[in-house]
Amino acid sequence: MTELLNNAYNTESFRESGHKLVNLLADYLDEALTSPENQKVLPWLIPEKQLDKWRKHLKSEISIEDTFKEIIENSIHIHNPKYIGHQVSAPLPLSALADLLGNFLNNGQAIYEMGPVSQAMERIVIEWISAKLNLSEKAEGILTSGGTIGNLTALLAARQAKSDFDIWNSGVLNHKLAFMVSEHSHYSVERAVKIMGLGEIGLIKVKVDEKFRIDVSNLENSFNEANENGTKIIGLIANACTTAAGTYDFLDEIGDFCNSHKIWFHVDAAHGAAASLSEKYKYLLKGIEKADSVVLDFHKMFMVPALTTAVIFKNPEHSYQTFAQKAEYLLNKEHSWFNGANRTMECTKIMLSLRVYMALHAYGDKLFTDFVETTYKRAEEFAELIKETKNFELLFEPQSNIVCFRYIPEGINSEEKLNAINAEIRKKLTEDGTFYIVQTKLNNKIYLRTTIMNPFTKISDLKKLLGLITIMS
């Protein structure tokens, strides 16, 4: 045993550094919530300078505590109420602590004995959310690392279930299989289809309405057209909700369409599944119970750290068929819910379930209800504010906590100029760092896109954002 190894595992240093880190994070959270104006959301540095900084740091003698501080200072501050950018949650302190616990225990979960607690908790978390989504009592699923992998996992199951040959072993060559996808599906859906080897012909893009929801009246046409071209449609992917504009597809009607054609119905509810926790908003998910598979990201609307994704299957059999593989030393032929690797892309997996389970245990459903209702309502209020404020145009009334708008200065009508102005605003905002928002292009128009991910974001913060944009442009 070397002295260095001994020192690296020293229990007293661990205790000391751990206490210091928790103190730092508690102060950091306090500042973000009580005096957010003292903190730039994004301490902007160009990538080369950032790289240079950490190259120098690596060679320095800076202490562990000061390094923790520097990491915090130079990161984007998701807990600051003026962070209203991409759909990443401001994690609950308890979920972050659960993560520390899980990372330290490092129970890998590929097979039961490598993660007995987290495997049982995973089953409980999936049962809980399946019930909220009104899925069949028999539904089963798994947790995995992100919606991107989640969508791929679900579509692999769809392909296995709906192609009438043993595709896992024979491959996809010479088979024109396709999924119907919304033009507004998240890019991970197209990526999954391409990874599966279905190519461009594997994507039948269906039309959307003026709110970027699948145009249900056009589905039959798209289906027949593809069939006539010799393509076998095996499934359809609906959004709940769309990434760019936050609108929910008509799941009920789409579910009926899929059932009538006996194709797989997958709902990408990575962002919007949380509406199921609210009596007020759960109507948005009507019909989700018809889905063969559902993906949802707990790290988006459930206040837990990334990545924590659930993939749920209406028929548990399908979850086992996804990976029809043999590995005598590890994988189990029997259908055992407690052997994770049978059903996930990952072999070793971090203890994802702890993050959700701990929050559920400590606070109950109501915490998640409060979160979704607070953030969705704030988005409605923000939309009102945009409509009332001179020179701003709201894309449309939000259905979720995603709000898109643009700045239209007086006398400017050219779409090209408006695009340039709004792209410039977003660039200036990023470099300024007081707020963090993103941009998106819809119908060839650049919109500023905000997602209210923090329940502490107040309407006064959003007023300040519009004020800053007006001053900047």
Which positions lie near ligand PLP, rule CB under 6 A? Answer: 87, 146-148, 151, 186, 188, 239, 243, 268, 270-271, 297, 307, 309
Following CA atoms 212, 218, 221, 224 in sequence, which dihedral angle do they give, to the nearest 10 degrees? Answer: 60
Which residue from 348, 342, 316 is spatially nearest to 118, judged by alpha carbons?
A: 348
Kindly state the smallest distance separating residue 415's Cβ from ligand PLP, in Å.
Answer: 26
Give CA separation, 27 vs 22, 62, 70, in Å.
Answer: 9, 21, 14
Nearer to ligand PLP, 245 or 385 (CB): 245
CA 276 to chain centroid, in Å, comes to 16
By beta carbon distance, the residue nearest ligand PLP is 147
Kindly state the smallest distance separating residue 96's Cβ from ligand PLP, in Å.
Answer: 18
Helix 116-132, helix 353-363: angle, nearest 10: 60
Nearer to ligand PLP, 87 or 107 (CB): 87
Nearer to ligand PLP, 82 or 271 (CB): 271
Q: How many residues does the chain have?
A: 473
Q: Which residues contact 201 (CB under 8 A, 6 or more apart)?
A: 176, 178, 231
Kindly state the smallest distance separating residue 151's Cβ from ligand PLP, in Å.
Answer: 6
CA 163 to chain centroid, in Å, comes to 29
- The DSSP 8-state label assigned to residue 308 in this structure reads -
Kindly state the smallest distance separating residue 307's Cβ from ligand PLP, in Å.
Answer: 5
Nearer to ligand PLP, 107 or 188 (CB): 188
Dihedral (CA of 422, 428, 432, 437) sign: positive
Nearer to ligand PLP, 87 or 109 (CB): 87
Kindly state the smallest distance separating residue 16's Cβ from ligand PLP, in Å.
Answer: 35
Helix 93-105, helix 353-363: angle, nearest 10: 140
Kindly state the smallest distance separating residue 152's Cβ from ligand PLP, in Å.
Answer: 10
Kindly state the smallest distance separating residue 364's Cβ from ligand PLP, in Å.
Answer: 25
Nearer to ligand PLP, 28 or 248 (CB): 248
Paired residues of 265 in beta bridges: 236
What distance in Å separates the CA atoms of residue 46 and residue 44, rounded to the nearest whole number? 7
Backbone angles phi, psi at 393, to 5 degrees: -125, 125
CA 267 to chain centroid, in Å, comes to 13
Give CA separation, 436 vs 27, 397, 400, 445, in Å.
Answer: 21, 21, 19, 20
Kindly state the smallest distance separating residue 271's Cβ from ligand PLP, in Å.
Answer: 5
Nearer to ligand PLP, 246 or 255 (CB): 246
Q: Check if the beta carbon of residue 239 is closer than 8 Å to that of residue 203.
A: no
- The phi-psi region of residue 193 (left if phi > 0; otherwise alpha if psi is between -120 and 50; otherwise beta) is alpha
Kindly state the smallest distance separating residue 404's Cβ from ligand PLP, in Å.
Answer: 14
Nearer to ligand PLP, 36 or 146 (CB): 146
Nearer to ligand PLP, 162 or 186 (CB): 186
3-state secondary structure at position 320: helix
